[in-house]
Chain A
Amino acid sequence: MILDLEKFLAAERPRWKELEFQLTRIESDGNRQVPLAEIRRFHYLYERASSDLAKITTFAAEPETRRYLEALVSRAYAEIHETRERAHRFAPIHWFLVTFPRVFRRHLQAFLATVFITLAGVGFGAFATAFDPDSRRVTMPFGHDQTTPSDRVQREVSSGGAAGGGSVGFSTQLMTHNTQVSILTMALGMTCGVGTLISLFYNGVILGAIGFDYIQDGQGRFLAGWLLPHGSIEIPAILIAGQAGLVLGVTILGRGAAVPLRARLRAVTPDLVTLIGGVAILLIWAGLVEGLFSQYHEPMLPYSVKIAFGLVELTALVWFLTWFGRRRDQRETNGS
């Protein structure tokens, strides 16, 4: 049988036009409440267009109409068969205060792994600085190997923290740089998490080496006052980015998983985006604190105040990540 193309087109085209009109409406406003009758009609039109596509492929092979119908059916298919949960409207406050801490807790093991690997790096960095002074050239970037902590503290204190501190521009540069580093840490999860682990370990090595150098030189109090105000948020933020990278890596490895890779990635994608989005928010705060607060030193700003501020921030962050969104967790547990 060969299809009578002209008759077929004349008969079916009004329905294709109707389907196209409905598709355009749905695509332009995904949050519109669609009446049941309209949904039924839409489904009917989709099935009809699918049937027409099958007919034209089998009995006519007319390429233009087939391509048109393929495009139409693919659009309708995407709307009808999409079953993933969709947020009605993006609510940024709810997302940050509820979704982000919940997602963080869901992947707590990955976070603990990032803490462990970073601490291992800190230990290695401190050990290297203690027993191999030449390692400073590798483990201390940003010119820290060129000077002793005491000299640096003297310079900072004498300048009152004017070396880059107290500047909105400096804060913004720190924010953007740290966010880029976080994104890379997460993205390296594509190497089955190996790249993320190396990045975290290396960060730990730098932290351990510089920290040990300052403590050894008797500048531990300065270091705490300098690092804690922004580091109490910045370091956990980088660790959360590493957590996202490890989640990605573990998902790719899929050890013992019964579902295929694509399904696993599909399931974990929103969590990765939530984690990295939360990291960006935390880094904005950390950048502001680092640019506008951390760079001021005694006598302008007592170290005790800076240390206390950092500890309060850290406590607040732990409380936020541990308790926010719990009520919803319990509701879902009870519901299930």
Chain B
Amino acid sequence: MDPRSVPIMNSELLIRTPEGIAFSLPLAGPLARCLAWAIDSILIIALILCTVLLLSLFGWAAPDFVQALIALAVFAVQIGYGIAMEWRWRGQTLGKRALRLRVMDVQGLKLQFSQVVLRNLLRAVDFLPSFYLVGGAACVLNRRYQRFGDLAANTVVVSLPRLAQPDLDQLLAGQFNSLCEHPHLAARLRQKTSPGEAAVVLNALLRREQLEPGARIELFAELARHFRALVEFPPESVESVGDEQYLRNVVDVLYRSRATRVFRLNQPTTLETAVRFSSSDSRPA
């Protein structure tokens, strides 16, 4: 197996770069691919119908020539749609774009024209006996969800994550953080907290809107209990603070240094502008 690309689980492809960096690409499952194909099929049919209708208008002038043009157009759309779109849009068709999917080289390298052509031509086998039964079965059985065309062309279809801006201001504590009134205890908290623990509380806060109300209260209570036990702050600093706010304060202490915080208090607008990703940053690869 090539060491540069290792499937770490069914839904992800891990690429290891020679620089020692690893990044994962979420693979698109059979259902998402099927939906993208359905969208593309509708578009192809619509395109063919429009072309036939348009060319038929000139049928009275040269019926034989128009018949030839129709046959050519239908063939070109059937064979060329996937090739042209995936080459022009770097691995995406309209259906894939709608579902945020992209064809990629299996080693994370640049998609070559020959790969695009081959994976699209091999639809002839994947489509057999009808409605992509062979390709669909191959896709389900393959750990990278590859159909035969993907296997031959060394490609995979990945899901593109939505890249939202990391909104630290919304996540971290507001202007006042009662824990910061005790710098020595805050420093101890930073010292005692492992990166893993910090990641857990950060992710819990990031995903809080996805939690059921009851589960959210329970989770934050448990996390707050853990961090309260880790370092004990004076009661007057924490007793009037709810569990979720307490955790926000903890994350603020862990992820924002004192220098940054002081700077932020003095220059809020500048820093806000600096840390936020513009909407263009959130465009996928």
- A residues with a Cβ closer than 8 A to B are 1-7, 9-10, 13, 16-17, 20, 27, 47, 50-51, 53-54, 58-65, 67-68, 70-75, 77-79, 81-82, 84, 86, 90, 167-169, 171-173, 176, 179-180, 183-184, 186-188, 190-191, 195, 248, 260, 262-263, 265-266, 269-270, 272-273, 276-277
Contact A6 B168 (CB under 8 A): yes
Given A62-B166, A183-B121, A186-B121; A269-B114 close (CB under 8 Å): yes
Contact A188 B125 (CB under 8 A): yes
Q: Which one of B17-25, B34-42, B180-188, B223-231 contacts A?
A: B17-25
A88 to B77, CA, bound (A): 27
Given contacts A6-B168, A6-B256, contact A74 B75 (CB under 8 A): no
**Are A54 and B256 also in contact (CB < 8 A) when A62-B166, A71-B284 are?**
no
The one of B21, B163, B190 in contact with A53, judged by C-beta atoms closer than 8 angstroms, is B21
B112 nearest CB neighbor, chain A only: A84
> Are A60 and B64 in contact, with the CB atoms below 8 A?
no
Number of cross-chain contacts by CB at 8 Å: 203
Contact A63 B206 (CB under 8 A): yes
- Give 14 new A-B contacts, CB below 8 A, not counting A74-B15, A190-B125: A6-B271, A10-B275, A13-B274, A20-B281, A51-B21, A60-B199, A72-B285, A78-B108, A168-B64, A169-B63, A169-B67, A176-B75, A183-B121, A269-B114
Does the CB pair A169–B65 fall under 8 Å?
yes
B98 at the A interface (CB under 8 A): no
| Interface residues contributed by chain B, number (CB under 8 Å) | 77
**Contact indicator A265/B152 (Cβ below 8 Å):** yes
Complex Cα gap A166–B202 (Å): 75
User: In terms of DSSP, what is the predominant structure of the interface of chain A?
Assistant: helix
A47-B19 CB under 8 A given contacts A9-B166, A10-B271, A63-B203: yes
Compute how far the CA of A269 lies from the CA of B149 in the bound complex, rounded to whole angstroms. Answer: 11
Q: Nearest Cβ distance between residue B87 and chain A, in whole angstroms? A: 11
- B68-82 CB mask vs A (1 if < 8 Å, else 0) is 110110110001000
Docked-complex contact B152 and A68, CB < 8 angstroms: no
Q: Which of A72, A81, A184 contacts B18 (CB 8 A)?
A: A81
Which chain B positions have C-beta within 8 A of A169?
Answer: 63-65, 67-68, 71
With A4-B255, A77-B15, A180-B124 as contacts: A67 and B168 at CB distance below 8 Å: no
Q: How far is the CB of B48 from chain A (nearest CB, A)?
A: 13
Chain B 158-178 against A: per-residue CB contact (8 Å), 1 yes, 0 no?
001101111010001000000
CB-CB under 8 A from A61, the residues of chain B are: 195, 198-199, 202-203
* A290 CB, min distance to chain B CBs, angstroms: 13
CB pair B256 A184 closer than 8 Å: no
Pairs A-B, 9 closest by C-beta atoms: A61-B199, A169-B67, A172-B68, A64-B166, A176-B75, A71-B285, A187-B124, A82-B110, A187-B125
For the complex, give the distance between the alpha carbons of A147 and B24 in Å. 64
Which of B72, B161, B206 contacts A172 (CB under 8 A)? B72
Interface string of B240-265 (1 = CB under 8 A from A): 00000000000000111101100010
Contact B71 A190 (CB under 8 A): no
List, in ascending order, chain A residues with CB within 8 A of B118's CB: 269, 272-273
Report the Cα distance A248→B17, complex, angstroms.
Answer: 29
> Is A262 within 8 A of B110, CB to CB?
no
Q: Which residues of A contact B108 (CB under 8 A)?
A: 74, 77-78, 81
Query: Which chain B residues lie closer than 8 Å to A2 at the CB level?
Result: 190, 193, 195, 198, 254-255
Contacting residue for A68 out of B154, B193, B195, B277, CB 8 A: B277
